Structure 1
């Protein structure tokens, strides 16, 4: 199940599909409350479609990105902090990031736990986590999102 829900399109597709089904059911029953709820369900999922525009890259290539001075971001679909980060980054900035989905790659999840254990003293899978050549940090606040944007601007000339 995690393998299926690990795809960026899974959550928006499920909720939009359910919203359309409820809208059809509400229309057949002539129930305005169900129709309005279904439309709201679809509208609330539209921002999550931004996650489907993330170019996932394999964890095996992450070290090459780091060696080239790029940025690797560990993330997972459905994470509210990840969605906020995706909304804040421009399309060009999202393309410069080497996105690694920890739900699709167990070795990436293990590496993420190792990064956090080295820094925090205990393993955990807090995402989104930006991994740079000499440091890593969880990107969960406005300050850390701004820090990541600055880093991406500095490395605009290279392929991340």
Structure 2
């Protein structure tokens, strides 16, 4: 569980340390700015940005697209952000939480855990363009 939050915790901790130095230098506004920015970045790289994670077994039941992702992946964050409200129309499987999902990704990518990997209609796509995925979601759902 901690593995999923490691990057977010590290980001917030580094921001706190930099803010402490800023306060020591007599710059409380600079410290506040650093805290706000670091907490924002910590949220972006945390699992909280994504819809509720499902298991791979749950995700394949209704035919909707499945996105395999992991916390801290900048490409996953990009895909989530670009899908916007359409992100709720796909299943999100956290490969660090679900070994079956990680095995699926390794099978598609030839042994690597490259994410995001998207499965639509039984066909896997590694790090596809978010606009292409949005178009596919519209036709599948």
- TM superposition score category, shorter chain reference: 0.7 to 0.9
Conserved in 1, the CA contact under 8 Å of 2:12 and 2:42? no
In structure 1, the partner of 2:22 is 26
Structure 2 runs not aligned, ≥5 long? none
Q: Deviation at 1:54?
A: 1.6
- Spell out, residue by residue over 1:75-98, the C-alpha distance to the aligned partner (whole angstroms, 9 max, x if none): 01111111111121112x111110
Conserved in 1, the CA contact under 8 Å of 2:11 and 2:42? no
Verify: 1:76 aligned to 2:70, yes or no. Answer: yes
In structure 2, the partner of 1:96 is 89
In structure 2, the partner of 1:62 is 59
TM-score by length of 1: 0.70
CA distance 1:104–1:145, shift in 2 (3 Å): same
Q: Deviation at 1:21?
A: 5.0
In structure 1, how many angstroms separate the alpha carbons of the residues matched to 2:139 and 2:57? Answer: 24
In structure 2, how many angstroms separate the alpha carbons of the residues matched to 1:19 and 1:45? Answer: 8
Q: Deviation at 1:101?
A: 0.6
Conserved in 2, the CA contact under 8 Å of 1:6 and 1:103? yes
In structure 1, how many angstroms separate the alpha carbons of the residues matched to 2:3 and 2:33? Answer: 23
Say how many residue pairs are matched. Answer: 138
Q: RMSD value over aligned CA atoms?
A: 2.8
Q: Deviation at 1:139?
A: 2.2
Conserved in 1, the CA contact under 8 Å of 2:15 and 2:38? no
In structure 2, the partner of 1:147 is 132
Runs of 4+ in structure 1 deviating by more than 4 angstroms, as ranges, are none
